[in-house]
């Protein structure tokens, strides 16, 4: 009886800790997984299960990307619990790719917030193209290329494919500086103008280039770094 009480008390302490912080800052990966398992395995010690899963697969991300068969092989998981983890994984994947079509990019604050969320927790530099419909709402967001922590080249073939597949003639460029401020470099300015010239040949207008850093997201146009007549 006392062990069940201790178990319940531990869960409540974990929930209280999360509630007070409002995020997972300060939590280890096995603690995050342990809390997720609260809702999947209600009557077992999820701390032990989380440790076993991390030990077997190496990281939280690897756990969430493991197959149902692989997850089921871990003690106290089983097929039902493995399928529940699969559900959470697919929910996360869906939320990371779905576009909120209600966002009007003419509302610069909402657009910057949207882009900032697109790069949340990203550890490597990525370049994205945001396709805009005729009503100035976000139509799609596509990863074009990825690089290291400080640089990513632009794959013009993937850029062309994404834009043509969307059927749009208006786009916004976006990339991130994972471990540094959002201050545009001269390379960023040069690349932006190069892409704008290239897109113009396709009949596509580049409205802006957003850069997300560890201090938020900025608009290069608002910073005075994009001038249409120069491109």
Residues 125 and 67 in one domain: no
Residues 123 and 181 in one domain: yes
Residues 67 and 176 in one domain: no
- Which whole number is the average pLDDT over 168-190? 93
Judged against a pLDDT cut of 90, whether residue 151 lies above it is answered with: no
Q: Minimum mean pLDDT among 100-104, 167-171, 189-193, 197-201: which range?
A: 100-104
Q: Tell me if 90 is assigned to some domain.
A: yes
Choose the final residue of a domain: 49, 70, 97. 97
Residues 121 and 177 in one domain: yes
Taking the C-alpha atoms of residue 46 and residue 10, their distance in angstroms, rounded to an integer, is 11
Nearby residues of 79 by Cβ (< 8 Å), 6 or more positions away: 68, 72
* DSSP result, 129-190: EEEE-TTSBEEEEEEEEE-SSS-----HHHHHHHHHHHT-SEEEEEEE-TTS--PPPHHHHH
Residues 90 and 144 in one domain: no
pTM above 0.75, yes or no: no
Taking the C-alpha atoms of residue 227 and residue 37, their distance in angstroms, rounded to an integer, is 51
Taking the C-alpha atoms of residue 102 and residue 99, their distance in angstroms, rounded to an integer, is 9
Question: Is the CB of residue 188 less than 8 Å from the CB of residue 218?
Answer: no
- CATH number of the domain encompassing residue 163: 3.40.140.10
Residues 122 and 91 in one domain: no
**What radius of gyration do the chain's Cα atoms show?**
22
Residues 174 and 225 in one domain: yes
Question: Of the candidates 40, 28, 27, which has an alpha carbon nearest to the alpha carbon of residue 74?
Answer: 40
Q: Tell me if 175 is assigned to some domain.
A: yes
pLDDT over 70, % of the chain: 89
Residues 73 and 180 in one domain: no
Choose the final residue of a domain: 63, 97, 131. 97
Residues 56 and 160 in one domain: no
- Which whole number is the average pLDDT over 203-228? 92
Domain count, the chain: 2
In this predicted structure, what is the pLDDT of residue 179?
85
Question: Is the CB of residue 33 less than 8 Å from the CB of residue 54?
Answer: yes
146 is in which domain, residue-wise?
A: 108-230
In this predicted structure, what is the pLDDT of residue 2?
43
Residues 85 and 121 in one domain: no
Judged against a pLDDT cut of 60, whether residue 21 lies above it is answered with: yes
Question: Is the CB of residue 150 less than 8 Å from the CB of residue 175?
Answer: no
């Amino acid at each position: 009886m006392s062990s069940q009480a201790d178990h319940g008390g531990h869960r409540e302490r974990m929930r209280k800790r999360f509630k007070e912080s409002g995020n997972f800052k300060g939590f280890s990966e096995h603690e995050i997984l342990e809390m997720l398992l609260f809702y999947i395995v209600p009557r077992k010690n999820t701390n032990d299960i989380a440790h076993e899963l991390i030990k077997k697969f190496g990281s939280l991300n690897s756990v969430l990307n493991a197959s149902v068969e692989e997850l089921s092989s871990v003690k106290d998981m089983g097929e039902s619990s493995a399928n529940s983890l699969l559900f959470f994984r697919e929910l996360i994947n869906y939320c990371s790719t779905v576009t909120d079509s209600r966002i009007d990019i003419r509302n610069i604050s909402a657009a910057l917030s949207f882009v900032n969320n697109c790069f949340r927790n990203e550890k490597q530099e990525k370049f994205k193209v945001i396709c805009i419909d005729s009503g100035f709402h976000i139509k799609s967001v596509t990863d074009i290329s990825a690089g290291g922590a400080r640089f990513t080249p632009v794959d013009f073939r993937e850029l062309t494919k994404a834009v043509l597949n969307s059927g749009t003639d208006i786009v916004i460029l976006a990339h991130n500086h994972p471990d540094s401020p959002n201050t545009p470099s001269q390379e960023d300015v040069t690349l932006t103008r190069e892409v704008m010239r290239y897109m113009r040949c396709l009949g596509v207008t580049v409205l802006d280039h957003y850069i997300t850093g560890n201090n938020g997201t900025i608009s290069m146009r608002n910073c005075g770094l994009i001038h249409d007549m120069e491109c």
